[in-house]
Amino acid sequence: MENEAEEDWKMNEIKIIQELIKDKKYAQIKLMISEWNSVHIGEVLDALDKNNALIIFRMLPKDIAVEVFAYLPYERQMSIIETITDAEIKNIIDELYFDDLVDILEEMPANLVKKILKHAKPEERNLINQFLNYPENSAGSIMTIEYVDLRKEMKVGEAIEHIKKTAYDKETIYTCYVIDSNRKLEGIISLRRLILSDSDAIIGDIMNTDVISVHTLDDQEEISGVFKKYDLIALPVVDNEDRLTGIITIDDVVDVIEQENTEDFQKMAAMTPSEEKYLESSTFYLAKNRIMWLVVLMISATFTGAIIRRFEVVLQSVVVLAAFIPMLMDTGGNAGSQSATLIIRGLALGEIEPKDTLRVLWKELKVSFLVGLVLSIINLVRILVFDKVEFTIGIVVSITMFTTVIIAKLVGAMLPIGARKLRLDPAIMASPLITTIVDTVALIVYFWLASVLMGI
């Protein structure tokens, strides 16, 4: 209900602004948007056409304009950069947080990157180029250089004065980082600890030397796990010589978590991962991301057809066996998907590690035994009472059900762990692939049992 109300508000405000622009009542627009926060202004600008959005953007005070620009989608940011003056571009560069600026540049075409960089200071340009060279999805690519650093020789009073002088353009000041003359990270100290300490106390005596840090090339998914494990709001990033290079803040990690979850969902649905929004993606692009996996799965599904042809004599002898094939295949696929989903999630959260393979195998074996036993008994009763088939057929179907559930759950649990051991994303071993494997095994078991127990 809250989302619907917010959407109605946005649509109503957009209509009002469009009417005010049409009537050239710019003073009224400026007064109206002055009461909004930056996120709402960004949402409204994104919904307006290019020209009207630019008109509103230029009405904003400089500090608000920079905040709004950071919340806009990349396509709208590019259209603004293409149109605004060099002076306006310089103001955006000067006021944007460094990591936000790097994120924007990563998505923009080369001509716009050059247009932006020519207004950056030489030292800032060098840093930007360094950040752009870090591997995608690494700690270096998402960190910021806007942090408070202190020397361990400082007194608390000096440190607080230093924070007051430099804190304005820092992304966070709640945690300060203590470094030596070579920028090697020696410890951290919270702003709270500084305020509560005596002004003559030495930073080196009260700082925390047990520092949790990551390296510039560490993967962003692993970093999000570190934030979760230690309940951090910021995390220092060091190079191979333990020199402080930057920090990662919680707002960037939230974006990483959303991105990684979206990627996992797409892989689990047998699609090529994409960061583009659904409604903004072309039909061809969406089809391209889906078709390859569907082709692979379609070809792999020919194994089930080959098995059915191999046991054609069994089917011709007892035609009723064909009626139970969909149920067996669906149940096996569902059972495997349950296990795969739990294991993939456990791997993502760090609750399960490859070293836990035997423990997972044993647990899933026990679970699958219980589940398979219950399902096969229920299925046997249903077949005999409602379908009124021969007892032997009921036994064949029920034993196949029991066996299929056990195999499906073991396959669903082991494939994601195997992928992790091979340094692949466990999400690719999800429902579609598991279903294809289990279907093949279920049919082989089914027809083999039928031929043995029924003497066909």
The mean pLDDT value for 88-100 works out to 80
Which position has the token pair 């950069």? 81
Give CA–CA dist 174/148, Å, rounded: 9
Phi, psi of 303 (to 5 degrees): -60, -40
Q: Are 127 and 206 in contact (CB under 8 A)?
A: no
Q: What is the pLDDT of residue 265?
A: 62
What's the token pair of residue 259?
């991105």
pLDDT digits (tens, 9 = 90+) for 8-33: 767 788 888 888 888 888 888 888 88
Nearest to 338 by CA among 401, 278, 268, 391: 268
Q: What is the mean pLDDT of the chain?
A: 83
Q: Are 171 and 97 in contact (CB under 8 A)?
A: yes
CATH of domain 149-249: 3.10.580.10
**CA torsion, ordered 155, 161, 166, 172, to nearest 10 deg:** 70
The mean pLDDT value for 68-80 works out to 84
Q: Are 38 and 68 in contact (CB under 8 A)?
A: yes
With residue 266 as reference, give the H or E element that holds it. helix 250-268
Nearest to 275 by CA among 287, 290, 288, 260: 260
Which residue ranges make up each domain of the chain? 2-133, 149-249, 301-453
- Give the best-scoring range by mean pLDDT among 84-98, 114-128, 191-205: 191-205
pLDDT tops 70 at residue 300:
no
Cβ neighbours for 220, distance < 8 A, ≥ 6 positions apart: 137, 138, 139, 141, 142, 256, 260
Mutual orientation of helices 50-59 and 38-47 as an angle, nearest 10°?
150
First-to-final CA distance of the chain: 62
pLDDT digits (tens, 9 = 90+) for 259-269: 776 666 666 55
What's the token pair of residue 260?
């990684």
Largest Cα–Cα distance of the chain, in whole Å?
A: 94
Give CA–CA dist 291/271, Å, rounded: 8
Please give the class, per CATH, of domain 2-133: mainly alpha
Please indicate, yes or no, whether the overall pTM of this predicted structure exceeds 0.85: no
CATH of domain 301-453: 1.10.357.20
Q: Are 200 and 157 in contact (CB under 8 A)?
A: yes
pLDDT digits (tens, 9 = 90+) for 241-293: 889 989 999 988 888 877 776 666 666 555 556 666 666 667 777 677 667 76
Q: Across the chain, how many H-helices and E-strands are there?
A: 23, 6
In sequence order, what are the beta bridge partners of 244?
Answer: 238
Give CA–CA dist 308/134, Å, rounded: 52
The mean pLDDT value for 444-452 works out to 88
